[in-house]
Structure 1
């Protein structure tokens, strides 16, 4: 299965849920948001969302401004 994470193509050989993917990018574990196919996935749903072939994932940090 092919997915794209922050514009880098990855091949994964087994099913993967979003929370398992984010664990591979520890910098994003706190204060972050995830978009899959241009839809923000709420953190409470990270353990429920199963990645699909050709998903486009964007991991980003939430930064407070002022």
Structure 2
């Protein structure tokens, strides 16, 4: 069962949606790895946002992830 609601994760990951590189990292990596890699190139806020995007994919599936990033 998902810990965070889809709506909550969409709000928390909003900053990452404007950066194709962050979306790509969230698509391909675990939430922790996404954060670690994002932190190297972006500030803490954007790295956390990318982590939440990866959590969205993990908890709600690739179909929900792709629907969110394609908006």
- What's the TM-score, normalizing by structure 2? 0.28
Return the index of the structure with the highest Cα Rg: 1
The one of the two structures with greater contact order (alpha-carbon pairs below 8 A, sep at least 6) is: 1
Larger proportion of strand: 1
Larger proportion of helix: 2
